[in-house]
Homo-oligomer: A and B are copies of this chain.
Amino acid sequence: MSDYSKGVAFIDQGIAPISEAKISLLDWGFLHSDATYDVAHVWQGKFFRLDDHIERFYASMKKLHLSIPYQTEEVKTILNDCVKATGLKDAYVEMITTRGMPQAGSRDPRTCTNQFFAFAIPFVSITPSDKGLHLVISDRQRIPAESIDPVIKNYQWLDLVMGQFEAYERGAESVVVVDAQGNITEGPGFNIFCVKDGLITTPINGVLEGITRKTTMALAVESGYEVTQANIHPTYARTADEVFVTSTAGGIMAVTKIDDELIDNGSMGTVTRQLQIAYWEMHNDPDYSIEINYQK
C-alpha cells in the first residue's frame, strides 16, 4: 500500500501505482507536446472547484480537436477513484489528454487515437513555506497568443523553464516572463497579482485563465477591493505595495522580493494574508467543494 500513497494513475483503463504510470515515447503528446491537461486539488478530503477544472479541460480539448470516450461525470469518478486509491487527504490531481500515435507511416493527427490519463499525487506547493517568494522578471517572452492560445492549458513550458534557470542564476527562486511589449504575464504554473493604493491588478493578456486567479478576483471583490485586469509594467510590480501569485499548486502565495527590490519590506502583506485566509475558508463551501468518497 505504501506504493499507492506516493501516487496513483489511471492508465490503460485501470488504476496503477504512479511508478508504473507511463506513456509511449511515440505518443505525440510527448513527441509534439500535442496534449492538454488540467490540475485540480484535494484539500482535507474535498475536491476544490472540480467542475471548473473539468469544464476548462473539455474546452481545451475541443480547441485542440481532441476527444475522449468519457463524459464529465465519468472523469469525476475516475479522479475520485485515483484519490481514493492513494488515501490522501491533500492531493494534486491531474487529468491529461494526448493526441496518441498515428497509424504506421502516417503523419496525420486525424489517424491518432487520443489517450486519456489521470493521476493523483501528494499535494505540492510552489512555495514550501510562508516566507514569500523571491521572483525575477525575465526579458524572455511568454509564447504569444498568435502562436498558441494561452487559454488552452498546455505543456509548452520551455520559455518558463529557461526563465526558471535565469532566476537561479540571479539568486531568485522563480520567474515571471513578459509579452512582446514588455508587460509581465505569468510564471511557471502561476498567475501574478499586484496590490497598489488599494487597487488589485492582474495581467490581462497572454496568460492562462487560472481557476485560482478567477477565485482570487472574486474573493477580492467580495472583500471590497477594486480589482482590474490590465497591462502591468515591471516597474509597477517592483513598486507595488504587495505582490502575490496564485496557483492550484499552493493557492495564494506572497512575493516578498522582485529582482533586487523588497516588496512590503520583505514580509507578507495584509491584503495577501486576508485573501489567503478567505481562499482556504472557501474550501469548506459546499458550492465549491466535492467530498471524496474514500469508501465505495
A binding-site residues for B, Cβ under 8 Å: 6, 9, 11, 18, 21-26, 28-34, 64-65, 96, 99, 104-105, 107, 109-110, 117, 119, 121-122, 124, 126, 128, 140-144, 146-148, 152, 154-162, 164-165, 168, 180, 188-189, 249
Contacts and interface: CB of A to CB of B under 8 A. Distances in A.
Contacts of A146: 140-141, 180
Given A25-B22, A25-B119, A180-B146, A155 B30 contact: yes
A85 to B, nearest CB: 15
A101 to B, nearest CB: 10
A178 to B, nearest CB: 9
Nearest to A29: B30
B156 A158 contact: yes
Nearest to A148: B158
Given A143-B148, A148-B143, A32 B124 contact: no
Contacts of A99: 161
Given A64-B161, A148-B159, A154-B158, A21 B18 contact: no
Nearest to A139: B146
A32 B99 CA distance: 16
Q: How many copies does the complex hold?
A: 2
A126 B102 CA distance: 13
A189 B121 CA distance: 35
A147 B155 contact: no
Given A96-B25, A147-B141, A161 B30 contact: no
Contacts of A96: 25
Contacts of A160: 32
Nearest to A105: B124
Contacts of A6: 104
Contact of A23 (B25, B142, B148, B156): B25
Contact of A21 (B26, B143, B154): B26
A223 B250 CA distance: 61
Nearest to A141: B146
Contacts of A162: 64, 148
B21 A24 contact: yes
| Most B Cβ at <10 Å: residue of A25, A104, A161 | A25
A152 B162 CA distance: 12
30 contacts: A18-B26, A21-B24, A23-B23, A23-B30, A25-B96, A25-B117, A26-B121, A29-B30, A30-B30, A31-B155, A32-B155, A32-B157, A32-B160, A33-B155, A64-B161, A104-B122, A107-B126, A107-B188, A107-B189, A109-B164, A109-B165, A110-B168, A140-B146, A143-B143, A143-B148, A143-B156, A148-B158, A148-B162, A156-B158, A180-B180
